[in-house]
Amino acid sequence: MKKAQMKNQRFLVVPRSRSAQIKMTETIGVLFIFFVLILFGIIFYYQYQKVSLVEKQQELVAARAMDTTLKVLFLPELICTKGEAEPEDNCFDMMKLRHVNETFKEYLTKYYFNLFSYSRIYVQPVYPPAEEPIMLYNKETPPQEDGNRSWTHREPTYFVVALKDELKGTAISEYGLGYVVVEVYS
């Protein structure tokens, strides 16, 4: 008997029927908490995905705006040139700028739409002060069937540019200061 007792010391002894009940309740409790945690996880992940999807969308629109801005900044129709010399960075020639809108309109579907897609591009002179911005390109997304506008957001990108004006009548080129705004419709 003593030997048997000694052996029993290696086991946990619980009344059988009661222990099964406790175990069942325990298992149900653990499973409940586990599924609650999983549910929380799923809700959290869903919310995160929703936010990150919107962010990703905005990022893509911003990247498109950036690409369009770079195209505008280096567009031969606008950039300052001096004969065969290298074009000047971040500089628009006012003489070109004043007439480029007509060219853009004329070749809109053939060429410029592929470059700028649905966007609005304009130059705002800051110094010397000028009231009106110079509109270069404006193509909105086609309106909805009920006539309302189809875009919900306009992502703007700004770049400061020098505005070279050779019509000032001096021997040396003179530069104003302005900024180009590229707004992409989405």
Partner 1 sequence: MMAIINKKGQMKNQRFLVVPSSRKAQTEMIGLVVIVILITLGMLFAAQFALKESPQKKIFTRKGLSYSTMSTIMKTTVYEPNCKGDFKIKVNPQIGKDLLEDCARNFELAPDGYSLYKCRDQHSCVFLKEFVTELLNDTLGSWNKHYEFSAVLIQATEDKPTKLFDPPITDSKSGGCQRKERDSSGLFPIHTSKGLVQAELFLCD
- 120 closest CA partner among 112, 130, 110, 128: 112
Beta carbon nearer to partner 1, 66 or 115: 66
Closest approach of partner 1 to the CB of residue 164, in Å: 8
Q: Please, which residues have CB within 8 angstroms of residue 182's CB and are 6 or more apart in sequence?
A: 65, 68, 69, 72, 119, 120, 121, 156, 157, 159
Residues that bind partner 1 (CB under 8 A): 1, 4, 7-8, 10-17, 19-20, 37, 59, 62-63, 66, 73, 89-91, 126-128, 157-162, 170-172, 174-177, 179
Cα 179–181–183 angle (5° rounding)? 175
Beta carbon nearer to partner 1, 73 or 108: 73
Beta carbon nearer to partner 1, 109 or 170: 170
Closest approach of partner 1 to the CB of residue 11, in Å: 5
Closest approach of partner 1 to the CB of residue 170, in Å: 6
Closest approach of partner 1 to the CB of residue 88, in Å: 8
DSSP state of 145: T
Beta carbon nearer to partner 1, 89 or 106: 89
DSSP state of 181: E
Q: Please, which residues have CB within 8 angstroms of residue 185's CB and are 6 or more apart in sequence?
A: 118, 119, 120, 140, 141, 151, 153, 154
Closest approach of partner 1 to the CB of residue 35, in Å: 13
Beta carbon nearer to partner 1, 77 or 88: 88
